[in-house]
């Protein structure tokens, strides 16, 4: 039997996500935008709630094509707010559109969103933690606070330090698999 991080044992969605994506260093700007939108949508909800709606989000937000999302007008936003397949929170939907616009500005400045994120990492590489239990893992860190502050200054919404730390975990900026999880070593080697 495989040992996993405790949070990933509730259902098949979580197991699949944990075993294949969570903590894997992600460098594709479209996937990074997807996680940014999903983590913002998750605020105040369980991650499982978002995972169950992930395919709906992909359809609703044009496969997370940030160029298309940045061009959404009030009519498109109104359509999204009627889509029962996503979280129909006006602030979160508007935030996704706003964040797509800021995302493009950052890509233009740094060449990619991935390049922007790497400026916050030591030597541009993932941080390898060595937590023994889920209780040891913080909800935010000094680094997530620093990134959050910079992103807010640039105009992003729904990017508080806790959301940003969850984003960092999801996209492998930090390896927060507990040390006895079978994915810990696999993700550590991907840094």
Write out pLDDT tens, residues 72-117.
999 999 999 999 999 999 999 999 999 999 999 999 999 999 999 9
User: Phi and psi (nearest 5°) for 40?
Assistant: -65, -40
pLDDT exceeding 70 applies to what percent of the chain? 99
Residues in the chain: 191
> Which pLDDT does position 191 carry in this prediction?
66
188 near 175, Cβ under 8 Å? yes
Confidence grade of residue 9 (pLDDT, cut at 50, 70, 90): confident
Alpha-carbon separation of residue 34 from 29, 71, 91, 128, 186 (angstroms)? 9, 16, 17, 23, 23
pTM of the model: 0.96
CATH code of 63's domain: 1.10.340.30
What 3-state class would DSSP assign to 70?
Answer: helix
Query: What angle (nearest 5°) sits at the alpha carbon of residue 55, between those of residues 54 and 56?
Result: 90
Catalytic residues: 17, 39, 47
Range of the domain at 159: 27-189
* Residue 9 belongs to a domain: no
Q: Is residue 10 part of a domain?
A: no
Report if residue 18 sits inside a domain.
no
Residue-averaged pLDDT of the chain:
96
In this model, does residue 1 exceed pLDDT 90?
Answer: no
Residues 6+ apart with CB under 8 A from 76: none
Q: Which residue has the tokens 């969605």?
A: 13
Mean pLDDT of 47-72: 97
Q: Is the pLDDT of residue 188 over 70?
A: yes
> What total number of domains does the chain contain?
1
Residue 13 belongs to a domain? no
Q: Tell me: is residue 187 an annotated ligand-binding position.
A: no
Asked if residue 171 belongs to a domain, the reply is yes
Is residue 181 a known part of a binding site?
yes
Quick check: 121 and 92 in contact, CB under 8 A?
A: no
What would the mean pLDDT of 57-77 be, rounded to a whole number? 98
Instruction: Compute the average pLDDT of residues 42-70.
Output: 96
177 marked as part of a ligand binding site? yes
pLDDT per residue as tens digits for the range 134-154: 999 999 999 999 999 999 999
Please check whether residue 174 is in contact with residue 168, taking contact to mean a CB–CB distance below 8 angstroms: yes
| Residue 21 counted as domain residue | no
pLDDT at residue 121 greater than cutoff 80: yes
Residues 6+ apart with CB under 8 A from 131: 137, 176, 178, 179
Domain annotation covers residue 5: no
């Amino acid at each position: 039997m495989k040992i996993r991080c405790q949070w990933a044992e509730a259902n098949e969605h979580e197991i699949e996500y944990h075993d294949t994506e969570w903590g894997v260093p992600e460098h594709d700007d479209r996937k990074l935008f997807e996680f940014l939108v999903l983590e913002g949508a998750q605020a105040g909800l369980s991650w499982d709630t978002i995972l169950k709606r992930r395919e709906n989000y992909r359809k609703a937000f044009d496969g997370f094509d940030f160029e298309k999302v940045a061009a959404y007008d009030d009519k498109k936003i109104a359509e999204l707010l009627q889509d029962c397949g996503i979280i129909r929170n006006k602030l979160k939907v508007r935030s996704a559109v706003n964040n797509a616009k800021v995302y493009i500005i950052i890509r233009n400045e740094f060449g990619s969103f991935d390049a922007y994120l790497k400026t916050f990492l030591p030597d541009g590489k993932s941080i390898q933690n060595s937590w023994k239990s889920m209780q040891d893992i913080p909800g935010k860190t000094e680094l997530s606070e620093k990134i959050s502050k910079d992103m807010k200054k640039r105009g992003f919404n729904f990017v508080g330090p806790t959301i940003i730390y969850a984003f960092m975990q999801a996209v492998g900026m930090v390896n927060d698999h507990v040390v006895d999880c079978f994915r810990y070593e696999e993700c550590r080697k991907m840094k």
